[in-house]
A and B are shown apart, each in its own frame.
Chain A
Amino acid sequence: MKIGLFIPCYVDQFFPDVAKATYELLTKLGCEVDYPLGQTCCGQPMANSGFASLSKGCDANFISCFKHVDYVVAPSGSCVLHLKEHLHGSDEKAATHIREHIYELTEFLTDVLKVGSLPASFPHRVGMHVSCHGQRGLHLSSMTELRLPEFSKPMQLLNLVKGIEVMYPERKDECCGFGGTFCVFEEAVSVKMGKDRIKEHAVNEVEYITGVDVSCLMHLEGILKRNGSKVKTIHIAEILNHEVKQRV
C-alpha cells in the first residue's frame, strides 16, 4: 500500500512541523510514504474565490504528482474535501482514482489503518476545535445540527494518547471564522468568530487547542498571540505523533 503524502501549500511553507509529524506518524504505523516533490496546492483558494475555472494548471500538477499512489493522505480536512469534490483533469481516470482514494489524516488512521493503539503521550489539557470542512464535508465526526448517532474520528484517536485531557468548547462545532480569503475580505467577522471560539476554550482552561486543519489553528493562533495568551495551538498530527523523548 503506497501512500502519497500531500502537504497543503501553507503547511509546507509555514508549518513544516505539522508535515513532519504527519510523515513520521504514518511511517511509524508501517506505511510506505512517498512525498511527491512537485506538489504545490489543492487549488482551493482560487476555487473558493469564484475562480475554480483557473485551477486547471494546479489540478493537472496535482494529478501528475499523485496518480501513481494507492492513497493520498493529507493533514487537512478542507484540502481533502475540496479535492474530493472538485478534482478533474484531462486524465479524468487518474483524477477519479485520486478522488476516491484521498483521505484526511485522522479518517485514514481510523478507516483504513484501523489504528487501535498509539505509543503517543501528551499529558495536557487540550481544547478540541472541530474544523467545519472535515466535519460537515468529510463526516469526520457527527454534527450538533443532525439527529444522528454521535461519533468522532479525531476524538477516537486522541483517546488513545496517554495522559491527554480533551475538552470541547460549549458550542461544540461552531466555525472558527477562517474561511479562506474570508479571513481578510471579511476581517471583522472572521476575527470576531475566532475570538469567540477562544473565549469558550479559555473557560475550559486548556493549554492547547487542536484540530485537523492548520488553517483554523493558524487563525486562532494569530489572535491568541496578539492577545498575549499562553494558550498554544497544535495540530492533531503533532499530538498523535508525540512521544516522550526523554525523562526529565
Chain B
Amino acid sequence: MSEQVGKSLWHADAAEVFIADEPRTDWHDETLWFVRSKRDKASMQVPEWEELRELASGIKDHSLSNLDNYLKEFEEKATANGITVHWAIDAAEHNEIILGILNRHGFNKMVKSKSMLTEECHLNAFLEENGIDVVDTDLGERIVQFRQETPSHIVLPAIHLKKQDVSDTFHEHLGTEKGNNDPQYLTEAARGHLRGKFISSPLAITGVNFAIAETGGFVVCTNEGNADMGAHAASVHIACMGVEKIIPKAKDLAVFLRLLARSATGQPITTYSSHFHKPRKGQEMHVVIVDNGRSRQLGRPDFRNSLKCIRCAACFNTCPVYRRSGGHSYHTAVAGPIGSILNPNLDMKANADLPFASTLCGSCSNVCPVKIDIHQQLWKWRQVLAEEGYVAPSKKVAMKGMAFLLSNPRLYRIAGRIGRSMMRAFPGLMNNRKMNPWYKQREMPEAPAQSFRDWFKENKT
C-alpha cells in the first residue's frame, strides 16, 4: 500500500523510509527502550504496582459508565467556583471557542503548554490563520514548532531529534552559538526566550491530565513548570479537556499520580502536579470540554475502554514497531499503539493502516497503567476495517483464496505439494526481491520433499 494520505505515507512506507537510516533507527530504538527500562525500575519500587493498575482500570471503567453524571457534577462545581465551562462537539467548535475568547479580549498572542487534544484539533494552525501568535512552551514542543514539525511522541515531543538538530534550530531561531550542542546551554537559551513570553502573554492554554467531578477542579502535570508559568501570569487561562479525563473523586488522584509519571518516564511523580479549583483573583478561567468522537467511541463496546488512556505513552516506549518507525509514520497527533486504537474512530479511511502496524505482541497492554487491552483492540479493529472495506482488495482476494484452501483438506494438501515441488524445482521463482517481499532480506525456508502428513501416513498408519 503505497497510496498517499494527504502528505503522509501509510505507516509501512513511512517506516521503510525511517529504517533506511539504520544507525539513526538504532539510536531512536535504544533511547525509547531506555525510557521503558526506567519505567520498569520505577514499577519495581512499588510492591503494589499490579494492584494499582487494577484500581486505576476499575476507577476509569466506573467513570466511563457514569460519565454523563460526572461531567454534570464537574460542571456544576467548577461553575460555582468561578470557572466558565464550555462544551465543544468537535475540533472545529473547540477552536472557535478559543478564538472567541481571544477575540473578545482583543488578544493576539498566547502561550500553550502540552495538550494532545489541541494537537488533535489542529488548534495552532487555526489560530495562526486567524492572526494569533501561538507559542508552545513545552521545550520539546517549542523545538518542533520552530521546525514546523508535529510532535512525534505525546510525552517526549522531540524524541526523534538529536541535540545537533536542536542546536541548528535554536541557532536559526534564537541566535544561539552555531555548533553548540550542549543541552544545558540550549535549555538555558530556551528558558530566557520563553520567560519573556510567559510574562507578556495575556492568555494561556493548558491541557488537563485529570478533571475531578467531586470538586470541579482539574490537575495539570509537568516537569518544566511551563503550564504554571503561563497560567499564573495570564489574565485568562483556558484548560482544554476531552470528556474522558473525568475521574470521580480527589482521592482517586493518588492512584493515578502514583502510576502516571512512573509509567511515562520512570519518575515517581512529575515535578509539578498543579491542582486548579478557582481562578486567581482577577483572572478569568475557562474549561473547554471536548467530544470530537469520544462519545462515539464510548458506544463501541469493543473499543470504549481505549478512553481510559491517561496519555502516559508507556505503550509507545515498549512498542518494538514504534521504536523502529518513529511517531511521524503514524501520521496522527497521537501515534503508537494507543493511537492505533483511537484514531480509526476519528477517521477509519485515513487510519486504516494503523491497526496493522503491529505484530500483536501484547507488550503495550502489559505496560498500560489503566490496563487497556490495546493489542486485543488492534485485532478487533482489523476485523472492523476489513468489514467496512478499508483493507486493500488484493488482500481480501488473497484471504478468500486462503480460506477456501484451508477449509478443503484435499485442496490444501495438493496446493502444499505443488508449492513445495515448484520451490524445489524452480528455486528462482520465489527468489525475487520485487515480487516476494519476504525474500528482500531473508532466505526462504527450504521446501522438503515430504510434508509431515506424508511421513505420518507412510510410517504410522
Contact = CB atoms under 8 A, between A and B. Distances in A.
Do any beta carbons of A and B sit within 8 angstroms of each other in the complex? yes
7 contacts: A14-B420, A16-B452, A57-B407, A146-B366, A189-B321, A192-B19, A193-B359
Contact of A57 (B15, B367, B403, B438): B403
Given A136-B362, A226-B442, A226-B443, 9 more contacts: A13-B416, A14-B420, A14-B446, A40-B412, A41-B412, A50-B386, A57-B408, A185-B356, A186-B321
A192 B360 CA distance: 16
Interface of A: 7, 9, 11-16, 19-20, 23, 35, 37-41, 43, 45-58, 60-61, 132-133, 136-137, 143-148, 171, 173-175, 177-180, 182-194, 196, 218-219, 221-223, 225-226
B237 interface: no
A233 to B, nearest CB: 10
Interface in B1-47: 1, 11-12, 15-16, 19-20, 22, 25, 29, 33, 40, 43-44, 46-47
B451 A145 contact: no
The number of chain B residues touching the other chain, given as a range, is 35 or more
A7 B452 contact: yes
A128 to B, nearest CB: 16
A41 B406 contact: yes
B350 interface: no
A183 B360 CA distance: 12
A35 B437 contact: no
Interface stretch (B186-194, B200-208, B220-228, B394-402): B394-402
Nearest to B364: A145
B40 A144 contact: yes
Contacts of A177: 320, 359
B456 A46 contact: no
B88 interface: no
Given A171-B33, A188-B19, A223-B441, A52 B358 contact: no
A178 to B, nearest CB: 7
Contact of A175 (B15, B25, B359): B359
Contacts of B403: 46, 51, 54-55, 57-58
A184 B406 CA distance: 20
A239 B50 CA distance: 35
Interface stretch (B60-68, B247-255, B272-280, B377-385): B377-385
B419 interface: yes
Contact of B460 (A35, A55, A148, A185): A35
A219 B452 contact: no
Contacts of A15: 445, 448
A150 to B, nearest CB: 12
A61 B407 contact: yes
B132 interface: no
A196 B29 contact: yes
Contacts of A222: 438, 441-445
B104 interface: no
Given A136-B366, A184-B438, A218 B445 contact: yes
Interface string B424-459: 000000000000011011111111101111111100
A13 B325 CA distance: 33
Contacts of A178: 359
A19 B246 CA distance: 53
A187 B437 contact: yes
B107 interface: no
B391 interface: yes
Contacts of A219: 442
A54 B399 CA distance: 8
Leading 7 A-B pairs by shortest Cβ distance = A57-B407, A179-B359, A222-B442, A50-B386, A145-B366, A136-B362, A19-B452
Interface string B59-95: 0000000000000000000000000000000000000
Contact of A53 (B383, B406, B446): B383
Contacts of A145: 40, 318, 363, 366-367
Contact of B412 (A9, A35, A148): A9
Contacts of A48: 360, 379, 382
B387 interface: yes
B357 interface: yes
Contact of A45 (B402, B416, B438): B402
A219 B445 CA distance: 9
Contacts of A136: 361-363, 365-366, 375
A174 B322 CA distance: 13
Contact of B406 (A19, A58, A146, A171): A58
Contacts of A51: 383, 386, 391, 396, 399-400, 403
B276 to A, nearest CB: 33
B49 interface: yes
B258 interface: no
A220 to B, nearest CB: 9
A13 B20 CA distance: 34
A50 B359 contact: no
A37 to B, nearest CB: 6
Contacts of A194: 442
A11 B408 CA distance: 18
B409 interface: yes
A70 B457 CA distance: 22
A188 B15 contact: yes
A191 B405 CA distance: 28
B126 to A, nearest CB: 34
B443 A193 contact: no
A19 B33 CA distance: 36
Contacts of A171: 33
Contact of A40 (B325, B356, B409): B409
Given A54-B400, A57-B406, A186 B357 contact: yes
A185 B438 CA distance: 9
A49 B359 contact: no
Contact of B359 (A54, A182, A196): A182
A143 B443 CA distance: 31
Contacts of B450: 16
Given A9-B412, A40-B409, A61-B406, A192 B358 contact: no
Contacts of B442: 191, 194, 219, 222-223, 225-226
